[in-house]
Amino acid sequence: MGRNLKFLIPCALVILSHSAPAAKQPSMPEVLAASSPADWRPLDPENTLYVELPGGRVVIELAPAFAPLHVVNIKTLTRAGYFNGLSIIREQDNYVAQWGDPENRHPLPTGIGKVAPEFDSTLPPQMAFTRLPDGDVYAPEVGFSAGFPVARSLKLHKVWLAHCYGMVGVGRDLDAESGSGAEMYVVIGHAPRHLDRNVALVGRVVKGIELLSSLPRGSAEMGFYAKNEKPLPIKSIRVAADVPAAERSNLEVIRTDTPTFAALVESRRNRPEDFFKTQAGRIDLCNVPIAVRERPAH
């Protein structure tokens, strides 16, 4: 009885102090509004691409930690002006937007050739990994590392980037080593996770994906544009570090290894907004928003 009484008293007190409706857990906008500057990181200009389209700029964050050889190739191609004047050649609904030079109008710069596949990596000894708690259909574990959605297998001792919406990959032919980086695609549909470990993913679109996802779909096989369709020209692709500071996109991305990011994930697993009558209580890797914002003025 004594022990029961002990529990009764604090409970009654708790109920009294919460006579207003119980505080909801914060929504994503509330989590972001309460974040501190340390919860965000600027993009590294050396590993950021600007794809300039007639409608505006697409910003890509490259992932050298996961595909170092491809990233070197892509930056060499970019700095040689290889992509300038090429086009979006493929737009397949619920799948990918892709650019390249299928008619070999632009010669490949010296030093660009096939590279090792980089479809996955050996798990580094101390890789940051914010694991999601709800499992995954395709991989033993999924989560975030350095701002990217990743899957890992402790059994295989491997980690790989996951094909979520907005991820950027390197097109290739049948040969696993046939992707140089001269052809790239962006996922614009439901995550094609069957491509995981079959293609080198090299980064993620952090801004402007609607400029790629809203293009007319190509009517030829696999969504390539037919001869009578007009592919969208690419004005230029540049490494952000090569762009005058005043013309750069001043973006920062939420860190994925902080309590704030954990709160963001939780705000999406159980949506507190009044609209939701049944909370999922779970979340799929590719439904977690990796927030991006304009860098606040100092």
* Residues at the site binding a copy of itself, with contacts judged by CB under 8 A: 91, 93-94, 117, 119, 134-138, 164-166, 174, 176, 189-194, 196-198, 209-210, 213-217, 268, 271, 274-278, 280, 282-284, 286-287
Residue 43 or residue 286: which is nearer to a copy of itself going by CB? Answer: 286
Closer of 107 and 216 to a copy of itself (Cβ): 216
Q: Which is nearer to a copy of itself, 147 or 149 (CB)?
A: 149
User: At its nearest, how many Å lie between a copy of itself and the CB of residue 26?
Assistant: 16
Q: How far is the CB of 17 from a copy of itself (least distance, A)?
A: 28
Identity of the residue, 82 or 188, whose beta carbon is nearer to a copy of itself in the bound complex:
188
Residue 151 beta carbon to a copy of itself: minimum distance, rounded to whole angstroms: 11
**Nearest-approach distance from CB 190 to a copy of itself, in angstroms:** 5
User: Can you name the residues that pair with 53 across neighbouring β-strands?
Assistant: 56
| Cα–Cα–Cα angle for 278, 281, 285, rounded to 5 degrees | 125
Give CA angle at 66 (65, 71), nearest 5°.
Answer: 80
Short-list 206, 289, 291, CA closest to 240: 206
Measured between alpha carbons, how far is 288 from 285 in angstroms, rounded to an integer?
Answer: 6
Compute the least distance from the CB of residue 96 to a copy of itself, in Å. 13
Question: Which residue lies nearer to a copy of itself by CB, 75 or 162?
Answer: 162
| Whole-angstrom distance, CA of residue 258 vs CA of residue 216 | 39
Nearer to a copy of itself, 43 or 132 (CB): 132
Q: Smallest distance from the beta carbon of 204 to a copy of itself, in angstroms?
A: 13
